[in-house]
Amino acid sequence: MTEVTNQLKDFLNKKVKEYNQPSFIKDDPICIPHLFTKKQDIEIAGLFAALFAWGNRTIIIKKSKELLNRIDNAPHDFVSNHTDSDLQKLLGFKHRTFNDTDLLYFMDFLQFHYSMHASLETAFSIAIKKTDASIENGLNGFYRYFFSLESVPSRTKKHIASPDKNSTCKRLNMYLRWMVRRDKKGVDFGIWRDISPSQLVCPIDVHVARVASHFNLLTRKQVDWLAALELTSYLKQLDKDDPAKYDFALFGLGVVEKF
Q: Which pLDDT value is given to residue 200?
A: 98
pLDDT at 216 over 70: yes
Residue 4 has pLDDT above 70, yes or no: no
Q: Which positions ≥6 away from 160 have C-beta within 8 Å?
A: 51, 142, 143, 146, 147, 172
Average pLDDT of 206-220?
95
| 32-81 pLDDT, tens digit each | 999 999 999 999 999 999 999 988 999 999 999 999 999 999 999 999 99
Host H or E run for residue 99: strand 98-99
Q: Is the pLDDT of residue 213 over 60?
A: yes
Confidence band, pLDDT 50/70/90 cuts, at residue 1: low
Q: How far apart are CA 187 and CA 190, in angstroms?
A: 9
Provide the 10 A C-beta neighbour count for residue 58. Answer: 9
Q: Any bridge partners for residue 94, and if so which?
A: 99
Answer for the pair 48, 107: CB distance below 8 angstroms, yes or no: no
Residue pair 201/169 in contact (Cβ under 8 Å)? The answer is yes
18: confidence class by pLDDT, cuts 50, 70, 90 = very high
- So what's the pLDDT on residue 2? 61
Domain boundaries of the chain, sorted by first residue:
3-252
Looking from the CA of 29 toward its CB, the CA atoms found within 13 Å total: 23
H helices within 115-259, ranges in order?
121-125, 136-146, 170-180, 206-214, 225-238, 246-251
Question: Among 29-38, 82-91, 247-256, whose mean pLDDT is lowest?
Answer: 247-256
Task: Tell whether the model's pLDDT for residue 3 goes beyond 70.
Answer: no
Report pLDDT digits (tens) over 95-104: 999 999 999 9
More confident: 25 or 54: 25
> What is the tens place of the pLDDT at every residue in 220-230?
999 999 999 99
The whole-angstrom separation of Cα 238 and Cα 256 is: 23
pLDDT in tens, 138-185: 999 999 999 999 999 999 999 999 999 999 999 999 999 999 999 999
